[in-house]
Amino acid sequence: MVRQQSGDWRGQRFDFIFTGAGCAALSLLMRMIKCGRFSNSSILLIDKDRKVTNDRTWCFWEKGEGFFQEIICKQWDHLDFFGEEGQVYLNIKPYVYKMIRGIDLYNYCFNEIKKQANIVIIQGDVQQVLHDNGNTAIEIDNEVWNGGNAIIFNSIYRAPQNKDGLIYLLQHFGGWIIESDRKAFDLHKGTLMDFRISQQPGTGFVYTLPLSENRALVEYTLFTETLLEKHQYHDGLRTYIRDFLKIHVYEILEEEFGIIPMTNQVFDFYKGGVYNIGTAGGQTKASTGYSFQFIQKQSQRIVDCLMKNESLQSLRRVPKRFQFYDTVFLRMLSGGKLSGADIFSRLFARNKASSIFRFLDNETSLAQELKIISSLPTIPFLKAAVAKRIRNEK
């Protein structure tokens, strides 16, 4: 990203303002560019980071080719799952499991964005957005700027200060791209989840995605209330690589770390004159942490709506029953009613992977959902469901 000179933007009025330049903002902005309908609209994009490092990796399942197909780093037709019921070989057709590296997404998007004369890019820290009587003020680097009547898309997530009554877990992960001294990986098959590791800190698993016959991304992931010390992620990775991958000589090429909220917090798409997108707008699946495909769907719906000159507030919301399922899942995890290893093991051992993917994408029918839920122990699920209802009625 490039910071513009002071006089270049402060006197301008913009039609669209993006606070945050992560996956959600870039996915929406790229669709606005590609459709060709917003070339005469003035657009401001603000983020505190320069987006020049590979700070994260997005992994997701998808049918066919998607919007960002040309920057897919790697994809797999088959996945392994290791759980409490043993190894499950997942034939995921008609889906393909895909990976996009953060730096590839940033480079691809900003190379295109910087060609657009109507888009101004600012490197700055957005503290808050204020809205009053149709006028917007944005505080950037402790300086308040008048945003006029622009349509604002915010993708900066801020955790709620008062978490009373909320289930609030963290999905946190440390990952390495390693290069082995031998051919150790099957290029056509990855490991979606491996729960054979210790579950002592809380629900934990490792996923492994081969990039070549001797190179792979290995990610140690946990669902807990608190983070680990840095050395604990490294210890977990070393142990897994040694004990399960059976690799003793390797080089660490890259390292990444991330945190994703897993919460039943109610997210407002529109509030205080601002449209919230990405994690800030509830596009991270509460029960799994997956967000990439939800972001893509929301981005396309927003652009379609803008092109039809329809109100964005008319956009379809996620059916409430999926929010209910997520809350019940989180309640089982947080209350220790059922371990994450047990939940996912039962789901993938007793259902087709494609059915689970549709369910996690919020695309199943009620009949399909009941079939999937029936593979879980009835009593813990019902207790968590009843607990949610009682809390809602208080």
Return the CATH number of 6-55+101-157+264-314, one of 3.40.50.2000, 3.30.565.10, 3.40.50.11900, 3.50.50.60: 3.50.50.60
Structure tokens at 374: 């029936």
In this prediction, residue 149 carries a pLDDT of 86
Min mean pLDDT across 7-16, 62-71, 301-310, 351-360 is at 7-16
Each residue's pLDDT tens digit, 216-254: 999 999 999 999 999 999 999 999 999 999 999 999 999
* Mean pLDDT (whole number) for 71-100: 96
Residues 6+ apart with CB under 8 A from 386: none
* Mean pLDDT (whole number) for 190-195: 98
95: left (phi over 0), alpha (psi -120 to 50) or beta: beta
Asked whether the predicted pLDDT for residue 58 surpasses 90, the reply is yes
The dotted CATH code for 168-262 is 3.30.9.10
SS3 category, 211: strand
Alpha helices in 249-377 (DSSP H): 292-307, 320-335, 340-350, 353-360, 366-373
In this prediction, residue 6 carries a pLDDT of 44
Each residue's pLDDT tens digit, 158-180: 988 887 879 999 999 999 999 99
Alpha carbons 89 and 139: distance in angstroms, whole number:
51
Global confidence as pTM: 0.92
Cα-based torsion angle of the residue sequence 299, 305, 311, 316 in order, rounded to the nearest 10 degrees: -60
Structure tokens at 71: 């920057």
Strands (E) located in 244-352? 250-263, 270-271, 274-276
Reported as a pLDDT band with limits 50, 70 and 90, residue 388 is: low
Residues 6+ apart with CB under 8 A from 365: none
* Mean pLDDT (whole number) for 199-218: 96
H or E, element range at 138? strand 135-140
* Mean pLDDT (whole number) for 348-371: 96
